[in-house]
Structure 1
Amino acid sequence: MATAVKVDEDAKSRLEELQAEIKLATGEKVTQQTILSRLIEDAHESKSDFVDSFRETTVPLSDEEIQRLNEARIESGKETDEDDIDDILYG
């Protein structure tokens, strides 16, 4: 059973371009429904990456965020080396 999905003109145009590229590259004619199904399947396989793409925050941090982070740091006056960090983290 097929269900209609509304997409804006830009998305529709890009879907048509993708359909044409597939036809040129493979010689196979595929429907837009097949393309969308494949895209959904691929997104499902890498679900965490896909979900993360909708988050408001981004990595790496912006210059402003880096500056705020650096301004919030304090100097403890105690020198720390890798062994100290390993002891703290791993006991």
Structure 2
Amino acid sequence: MTTAVKVDDDAKSRLEELQAEIRLQTGRKVTQQELLTRLIDNAYESREEVIDSFRESSVPLSEAEKEAMREARFNSGVETDEDDIDDILYG
């Protein structure tokens, strides 16, 4: 059973480009249905990454976000060890 799926023009164009690249590099002609099935199978294997791509914020941080955090660091002059952190977190 096949079902029609609507995709925007940009997605359709990228799908066709990938389809053509597969044929050029492998010599094998694949249908868009085969290609979409393979992409879905691969996405299913890394579904956490796919799910995360729909979150408002992404982890890990971008390089700009990492740099902003490094710039905001300061030395409070108080040495903290693991026991201190455990006490703060777990009481």
Q: Which runs of 5+ in 2 are unaligned?
A: none
Cα distance in 2 for residues equivalent to 1:88 and 1:49: 34
TM-score of the superposed pair, with normalisation by structure 1:
0.73
Q: How many residues align?
A: 82
Q: Which runs of 5+ in 1 are unaligned?
A: none
Match for residue 78 of structure 1?
A: 78
Match for residue 10 of structure 2?
A: 10
TM-score of the superposed pair, with normalisation by structure 2:
0.73
Alpha-carbon offset, residue 89 of structure 1: 5.7
Runs of 4+ with >2 A deviation: 87-91
Match for residue 52 of structure 2?
A: 52
* Identity in percent: 56
Cα distance in 2 for residues equivalent to 1:78 and 1:17: 57
Alpha-carbon offset, residue 50 of structure 1: 1.0
Alpha-carbon offset, residue 78 of structure 1: 3.5
